[in-house]
Amino acid sequence: MNDPFKLEENGTTAGTEILAGTTTFFTMVYIVFVNPSILAPSGMPFAAVFLATIIAAAAGTLVMGLYANVPYALAPGMGLNAFFTFTVCFALGFKWQEALALVFLCGVINVLITVTRVRKEIIRAIPTSIQHAIGGGIGVFIAYIGLKEAHFLEFTSDGPSILAAWPKAGAPDPIAASELAKNLGGAVTDGDIIPAIVSFASPHSLVALIGLTLIVVLMLLKVRGAILIGILASTAVAVPFGLVDFSSVSLDASSWGKAFGELGVTFGAAFKNPGFASLFDDPARLPTVLMTIFAFSLMDTFDTIGTFIGTGRATGIFDEADMARLAEGRGFSSKMDKALFADSIATSVGAILGTSNTTTYVESAAGIQAGGRTGLTSVVTALLFLSCIALAPFAGLVPSAAVAAALIVVGILMMGSFAEIAWSDFEEAVPAFFAAIFMALCYSISTGIAAAFIFHCLVKIVRRRARDVHPILYASAFLFLLNFALSAWNAR
């Protein structure tokens, strides 16, 4: 193992990498169950998306580990899958097969902009202060995800502020007032939501609190593998609270045979009719098609760049020497080059299998904080994903409360990047603030980056230092503004 992954050169060991890969897996295995739940309302078979999610995650992560030799894991992206179902399919009226074709084209575009050095030029154009802001912002984002999944927060919105609501699949019509919470699928408000801390009366929040306290104590004592130990210990604590669903464990072989049969429905569906064959048959729909591909690509590209910059620079995975090779080398001479290429091809592979954009996961930060520094971490994560095909119910035994505690701690560690920002300099503080706040509260890395770019350009223009801004940042800010305008137009 020492030779292919260069463990000694990267200051790590096989044991550390295996621990890191396992940690990453447990922090993101939720996607195996969540992704089908989000994509199924579009009409896609649940079991097919379940398998497609596992295979796409394993394939993309293996490429990342074996080709790029960096400790990042990939899977269908949260946010991108919701965009797939609720915007592309529901709001814009595309069939799910056509949406898969759009995702495939997004992947092709990502490959092209990676091969033609556009992605690396974007990275080179981002000022150091914004790079640190992205790293700290991702920390805020991850911590917020953890706080939410831990059920530490509750949100109150009064009736008039609710703009839209929809029932769960199979909910009765009409829904009795007493059954509203049980049958409500979701709601959109005008933003008038008041957060508050919970009373910690629920078993879920108690388990998360116990897990968080344990991980913090182990981290302070510098115990190796503190995050993974915390996840496993929290799972054990969750058993008497009834949060571990043992009834979900089933080794019925026939159910897996049915799942693989359904995978045939989604596999290659992007290239059939409906799919590519129907995507461009209506000239009037062409602007919408192009806008949707653009939106997919924009979100995917900047989510990935943000994750790499935010986690890789601070930990030395992408050190100054590697960034110099990125800037000056030809072909894919740096780890960052190879990582960007591995990420770009994963989206198209996922679309062929039958899932939304496969992208680099910010939860990889958990494995990196556990000591992962090479592709061996990714290989371990990929193999664990593959094991989900046979052992998915067992992987699902880890409750979200146990994972939430780990994410909060990872967020704390990543927020150290804020120390590198000159907060007393208002010019630096404004873009950094919006990067962090928008990432967390908008639940989107790309939205945070968009806000940082736009305000960075605004600050420099107002200060009459417009020439200090790289043209790529102006172009990126313009494209983000265009994307926001198009989204507003479609929401009318």
Co-location of 85 and 179 in the same domain: no
For the stretch 357-407, pLDDT in tens is: 999 998 898 899 889 999 999 999 999 999 888 755 555 577 888 878 888
Co-location of 396 and 281 in the same domain: yes
Cα 135-375-357 angle, rounded to 5 deg: 65
Nearest Cα residue to 54 out of 82, 35, 26: 35
Q: Which of 142, 167, 194 is the C-terminal boundary of a domain?
A: 194
Residue 199 lies in a domain: no
* pLDDT band, very low/low/confident/very high, at 256 (cuts 50, 70, 90): low
Q: Which of 194, 222, 255 is the C-terminal boundary of a domain?
A: 194
Co-location of 160 and 277 in the same domain: no
CA distance 387 to 385: 5
CA distance 405 to 411: 10
| Residue 14 and residue 7 in contact, taking contact as beta carbons nearer than 8 Å | yes
For the stretch 193-206, pLDDT in tens is: 888 888 888 999 99
Co-location of 187 and 234 in the same domain: no
Judged against a pLDDT cut of 90, whether residue 22 lies above it is answered with yes
Q: How many CB atoms lie within 10 A of CB 339?
A: 29
Host domain of residue 158: 153-194
Residue 200 lies in a domain: no
For the stretch 150-187, pLDDT in tens is: 999 888 887 778 877 777 766 777 777 667 777 777 77
Residue 482 lies in a domain: yes
Co-location of 182 and 51 in the same domain: no
Nearest Cα residue to 54 out of 227, 263, 366, 367: 263
Co-location of 245 and 260 in the same domain: yes
| Residue 322 and residue 69 in contact, taking contact as beta carbons nearer than 8 Å | no
Residue 477 lies in a domain: yes
Co-location of 147 and 164 in the same domain: no
Q: Which of 194, 226, 259 is the C-terminal boundary of a domain?
A: 194
Co-location of 220 and 189 in the same domain: no
Average pLDDT score, the chain:
84
State the pLDDT at residue 395: 54
63 versus 4: the higher-pLDDT residue is 63
CA distance 270 to 107: 13
Co-location of 160 and 282 in the same domain: no
State the pLDDT at residue 289: 86
Co-location of 188 and 94 in the same domain: no
* pLDDT band, very low/low/confident/very high, at 268 (cuts 50, 70, 90): very high
Domain count, the chain: 2
* pLDDT band, very low/low/confident/very high, at 462 (cuts 50, 70, 90): very high
Co-location of 298 and 176 in the same domain: no
Co-location of 146 and 164 in the same domain: no
